[in-house]
Structure 1
Amino acid sequence: MGSMNKLLNRPLKAFTLYALLVLACSIPVYYFIVDYIWRNELDEYNEIVRNRIESGLNKLSLDKEEWAQTIALWNKTQPGTKIEKSLFQESRSDSIYTIIRQKQSANDEDLERFRGLSSYIKVQGELYHLTIEINVEEAHETVFAIAAVTVLFFIILLAGFVILNRRIATQIWKPFHSTLDRLKSFDLNSQNNINLEKSDIQEFEQLNQALYQLIAKNISVFRQQKEFTENASHELQTPLAVLKSKIDLLMQNESLTESQSELIASLNIPLSRVSRINKNLLLLAKIENQQFSEGELVNMSELVNQNLDFLEEHLRARNNTVEMEICEHCYITANRSLVEIMLVNLLLNAIRHNYENGAIRIELTDKSLTISNTGTEPLISETLFKRFITSSTSTPSSGLGLAIVQEIAHRYDWKVDYHFINNFHQFSVLF
């Protein structure tokens, strides 16, 4: 599984990318709008200057020689304007233009943009061509200024997104995290309804109601399954005992033929398995219903040695060797019967699923119990502790041994782990 992202970060990333895209697109838009407004302002300014020049010149009373000198002086002292005698007899319409030329007294590479007005004016009855040009600010300076302001606002906007997202999310998602924590601590075995924090957010309240219904349904189904298993096991116990005693009586009948004896004897194997399953189901029901007494101080070192002696015949039958590394005085607080059942199930599992001349290792510390046995390939850990799941079809088993181990560990909040290391199946109970 790849790296997980928080739900809150996803909309923040989307908002950030969207804001960045919009602000990036706004830079050229701002530039063209500002440039358009600025050019219109310059055009209006040039028109005002044109009218002032025409009005001012017409107020002068000069002869032709003085007028020629005045025009020449004007063109020298007013570099942004130029007055020339018109080549046309009649006035023409004004024209507006933009021109880019080199700066005066500057390097050839330095260019300037000018906004110009070409117009015709009548001064003292004669037609003159008037040109007015005004410098437009450098385009790249405008773009840089707009970009700098845009970046500044983007940083402010992003910081605001992050701060608001964290502050608002803390309050908005508080009921959700509360619900999540209570779901994590919910135990179906307790059969207690869950109490979720109320929320004024519609979606979270709908989630709570759906969870209430789901949990109530699961508790009901779980309770029915437990009652059925417990009742069925109790009801089967007597018939199975009667059936076994009848088979034992038949086996003692001397009038039976050899084939009849073999047939009756073959019934003992499945009957024993059914009896064992029934016994284990009853045990699981008792553990789940917490019908065992409270804990006591159990000497684990002593318990391991006692049960190894009890299982010595099983070990000898398969010629399995046992290696032990046990602390001398290891104690835990639990019900002694349950701890012994857990220990025996782990030892029997190591013996049954071992091969001839295999090895078994037992390690005991004050923090854990580890029982390992030789094997050829790892087991499927996902189904290992489920009921009626056996890892081998060649070895008779009820499929409940490891499920019982898991249930006992769960009762005391212990953890059961499985690993396959160096051709050894390793089962560990962490106290």
Structure 2
Amino acid sequence: MAGLVLLNRGISRKLWQPFYDSLAKIKNFDLNKQQSIHFDDTDIAEFTELNGHLDKLIAGNISAYKQQREFADNASHELQTPLAIVQSKLDLLLQSQSLTDEQYHIIEDAHKALTRVGRINKNLLLLTRIDNSQFMEEELLDLSALLEKTITLFNQFAETKQIAIHSDINQGITIKANKELLEILINNLLTNAIRHSATSNIIDVRLSNSGLSFSNTGAESLNQDQLFKRFSTASSDTPGTGLGLALVKQIADRYGWSIQYSYEQNKHVFSLNF
């Protein structure tokens, strides 16, 4: 009896092996890499049919994903010129001496809305470029110096909200990355900390060999389910474009870094581990 059971298990395992092989390949499939899957040939008709349908499904998803990315890229490029023209025309109107107060406020609101659209367009184009691996150049960067320089540039912006930026930066920490992408990541995390800080608060920036963190006081936790999703806002109190943290996540994923958010002792904490 024991022999029959073992024999049955062996036969069953052999019969189902093509299924488990296909399942393992599907689990490892990453749409962002756009790599098609090659399923092994099998003598079992049902598994052959299953693999055929999986091939068509995956090929269709890859094709749709490419089209979506190309559309975002093309649309962003095409929008740049008309947005710049409209914005320059609004700038000229704002300088007009014959405007009434009402007209001035209407044009100013339109200008602010257009500026937001321009920001969204720029971030969409940047996301597409990252998706298309257009930031291949990497170099060994002095992260400590870059972080200190960025904080200096942001101090004036923070002071307009009466926010102080305190830093604890270990010197000589280097990292291999694309400089432009690393600057975008730091800028977005610092901008996010300032945006979600109340007036007269303090932002703490810490850098050590283990990683980088930004923390600031907040009344309540951000929506972690929406935090790194595109066009999602983590807080209704301070709505943004919904792309800043999505860019942070995209850049971190590109280099295999871990970006995490926590809410501890009334503080928002974003931690980046290299």
The answer to whether TM tops 0.5 is yes
Q: Does 1:176 align with 2:19?
A: yes
| Inter-partner Cα distance in structure 1 for 2:8 and 2:265 | 51
| Inter-partner Cα distance in structure 1 for 2:58 and 2:172 | 44
Counterpart among 216, 233, 250 of residue 407 in structure 1: 250
Aligned counterparts, 1:22-33, within 5 A: none
Q: Does 1:346 align with 2:189?
A: yes
| Inter-partner Cα distance in structure 2 for 1:421 and 1:204 | 50
| Inter-partner Cα distance in structure 2 for 1:380 and 1:166 | 48
Helix, strand or coil for the counterpart of 1:364?
A: strand
Q: Which has the higher contact order (CA 8 A, sep 6+)?
A: 2
**Partner residue in 1 for 2:115:** 272
Stretch of structure 1 that moved more, 386-395 or 184-193: 184-193
| Inter-partner Cα distance in structure 2 for 1:332 and 1:183 | 33
**Partner residue in 1 for 2:142:** 299
TM-score in terms of structure 2 length: 0.91
Q: Which runs of 5+ in 1 are unaligned?
A: 1-155
| Inter-partner Cα distance in structure 2 for 1:222 and 1:235 | 20
TM-score in terms of structure 1 length: 0.59
Cα offset for 1:356?
2.0
Q: Which runs of 5+ in 2 are unaligned?
A: none
| Inter-partner Cα distance in structure 1 for 2:166 and 2:63 | 47
| Inter-partner Cα distance in structure 1 for 2:48 and 2:238 | 52
**Partner residue in 2 for 1:34:** none
Would the alpha carbon gap of residues 257 and 344 (structure 1) be closer, same or farther in structure 2, given more than 3 Å must change?
Answer: same
The superposition leaves residues 86-140 of structure 1 with CA deviations (integer Å, 9 ceiling, x where unpaired) of: xxxxxxxxxxxxxxxxxxxxxxxxxxxxxxxxxxxxxxxxxxxxxxxxxxxxxxx
Q: Does 1:395 align with 2:238?
A: yes
Helix, strand or coil for the counterpart of 2:214?
A: strand
Q: What RMSD, in angstroms, separates the aligned Cα atoms of the two structures? A: 2.1
Q: Does 1:219 align with 2:80?
A: no
Stretch of structure 1 that moved more, 356-365 or 216-225: 356-365
| Inter-partner Cα distance in structure 2 for 1:160 and 1:420 | 58
CA contact (8 A) 1:324 1:362 kept: yes
CA contact (8 A) 2:76 2:121 kept: yes
| Inter-partner Cα distance in structure 2 for 1:238 and 1:182 | 44
**Partner residue in 2 for 1:252:** 95
CA contact (8 A) 1:355 1:374 kept: yes
Counterpart among 347, 353, 359 of residue 202 in structure 2: 359
Helix, strand or coil for the counterpart of 1:397?
A: coil
Would the alpha carbon gap of residues 331 and 245 (structure 1) be closer, same or farther in structure 2, given more than 3 Å must change?
Answer: same
| Inter-partner Cα distance in structure 2 for 1:198 and 1:285 | 36
* Residue identity in the other structure for 2:229: K
User: Matched residues, percent identical?
Assistant: 46
Stretch of structure 1 that moved more, 415-424 or 344-353: 415-424
Q: Does 1:239 align with 2:82?
A: yes
Helix, strand or coil for the counterpart of 1:318?
A: coil
| Runs of 4+ off more than 6 Å | none
**Partner residue in 1 for 2:32:** 189
Q: Which has the larger radius of gyration?
A: 1
